């Protein structure tokens, strides 16, 4: 090193190296923030699915309602609307004898595998907060008779829940949970 100090070229090279390193560092930080945000939303969709299943489980297991009616609450227009599933009129049997929920209102019917409206799938929107992304929930609910008692029939309920983002640019991931619940006697 000479006594005159650094040359202009040496300073420019040092600044360009430092800027390249800092740009790479900030890109890693930005990508980490975006990934964390997406993961938080995916976790929230899993929590929504678990909450919906637990709500149905509590209603099915509740001996007070004796499974005559199950209410599925729908958050729409900030009103607590619900679809009431009664023990007789809301179920339709398929070829295997399994009773599936029958959704009469087309706006609440979910889409089946072929993309057409399926009257055995309930579809509704849920927005946790006004400023958050809305989730589309598709619920499949079926039951199968497991006892053939003259006085009381016991049912095994199968619940399938699919939670997806209304805005697909956030995440294309769907959260799917399936469970079976045996009603109380």
Indicate the pLDDT class of residue 77, thresholds 50, 70 and 90.
very low
The 3-state DSSP class for residue 110 equals strand
From residue 44, alpha-carbon distances to 126, 132, 133, 163, 170 in Å are 12, 11, 10, 10, 13
Total domains present in the chain? 1
Per the domain annotation, does 67 fall within a domain?
A: yes
Report residue 3's pLDDT band, with 50, 70 and 90 as the boundaries: low
Whole-prediction pTM: 0.75
Q: What is the DSSP secondary-structure string of 127-180? A: -SSTTSPPEEEEEEEEEEE----SS---EEEEEEEEEEESSTTT----EEEEEE
Flag whether 14 is in a domain. yes
For residue 84, what are the domain limits? 8-182
Domain assignment present for residue 75? The answer is yes
* Position 91 in a domain: yes
In a domain, 2, yes or no: no
Q: Of the segments 62-71, 90-99, 129-138, which one has the largest average pLDDT value?
A: 90-99
Task: Indicate whether 3 belongs to any domain.
Answer: no
pLDDT the model gives residue 158: 92
């Amino acid at each position: 090193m000479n006594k005159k100090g650094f040359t202009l070229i040496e300073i420019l090279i040092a600044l360009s190296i430092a800027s390249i390193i800092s740009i790479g560092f900030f890109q890693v930080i930005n990508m980490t923030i975006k990934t964390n945000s997406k993961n938080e939303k995916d976790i929230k969709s899993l929590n929504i699915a678990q909450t919906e299943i637990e709500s149905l489980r509590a209603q099915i297991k509740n001996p007070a309602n004796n499974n005559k009616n199950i209410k599925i609450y729908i958050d729409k227009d900030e009103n607590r609307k619900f679809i009431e599933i009664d023990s007789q009129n809301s179920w339709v049997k398929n070829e295997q004898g399994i009773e599936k929920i029958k959704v009469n209102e087309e706006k609440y019917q979910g889409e089946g595998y072929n993309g057409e409206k399926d009257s055995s799938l309930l579809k509704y929107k849920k927005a946790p907060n006004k400023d958050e992304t809305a989730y589309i929930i598709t619920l499949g609910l079926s039951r199968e008779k497991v006892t053939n008692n003259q006085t009381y029939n016991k049912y095994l309920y199968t619940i399938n829940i699919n939670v997806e983002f209304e805005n697909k640019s956030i995440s294309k991931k769907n959260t799917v949970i399936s469970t079976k619940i045996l009603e109380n006697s």
